Amino acid sequence: MRTWSLNRKGCPSALHLLQNTVREEGGVPPLVSLLSSLDAKVQRASAGALRTLAFKNEDNKNQIVECGALPVLIRMLRSADTGLHYEAVGVVGNLVHSSTHIKRQVGGFKRSEGASFAKGQAVREARGADERERKLGTPPYLDGEGGSG
């Protein structure tokens, strides 16, 4: 199912065309694989690309989840690397926005992973992380935990 975000003239937006092209040309699976790279810069870059691909695009959200990104992203949320944490929050936030089925999956992964934050925290973090991280630097639930997940 193709979904389109239309601009003021009723045409698909350039971002949506790009998002769909990346998915249709097979770009999502390699980006999800790169989330597990040993290089933190590669992890941040792939998460940033996935965040953009997931923005208001249900087909991309579903493919990202189907490719197995959620367990890796949930671990990234606990990262001591603030850049990696920031990107993971962005991807998870875009994935769960208006996607109840993905919200339930995120909640299930957090419970099964034994994460230290309450159900729904990733969604709340995604909404306010940009401003809080800009002001505070380190997210409050990482104080004293410091795992690189």
pLDDT digits (tens, 9 = 90+) for 57-113: 999 999 999 999 999 999 998 888 999 999 999 999 999 887 788 888 887 765 555
Which of 24-28, 82-86, 100-104, 119-123 has the weakest average pLDDT? Answer: 119-123
Residue 143, pLDDT score: 41
Compute the distance between CA of residue 111 and CA of residue 9 in angstroms, rounded to an integer: 45
Q: What is each CA distance from 89 to 1, 18, 22, in whole angstroms?
A: 27, 22, 22
DSSP annotation of 117 reads: S
Strand, coil or helix: 95: helix
Instruction: State residue 147's pLDDT score.
Output: 43
Residue 135 half-sphere exposure toward CB, CA atoms < 13 A: 6
User: What local confidence, expressed as pLDDT, does residue 115 receive?
Assistant: 43
Q: Is the pTM of this model over 0.85?
A: no
| Residue 114 scores a pLDDT above 90 | no
Q: How far apart are alpha carbons 135 and 19 in whole angstroms? A: 31
Band (pLDDT 50/70/90 cuts) for residue 6 is low
Locate 46 and state its tokens.
């792939």
Round to whole Å and give the CA distance between 149 and 147: 5
Q: What is residue 107's predicted lDDT score, i.e. its pLDDT?
A: 75
Q: Residue 97: which of 53, 57, 145 has the closest Cα?
A: 57
- Please say if the pLDDT value at position 37 is more than 90: yes
**Secondary element (H or E) of residue 29:** helix 28-34
Tokens of 71: 């367990």
Give the pLDDT score at 135.
52
pLDDT class of 119 with cuts at 50, 70, 90:
very low
Check residue 137 and give its pLDDT: 47
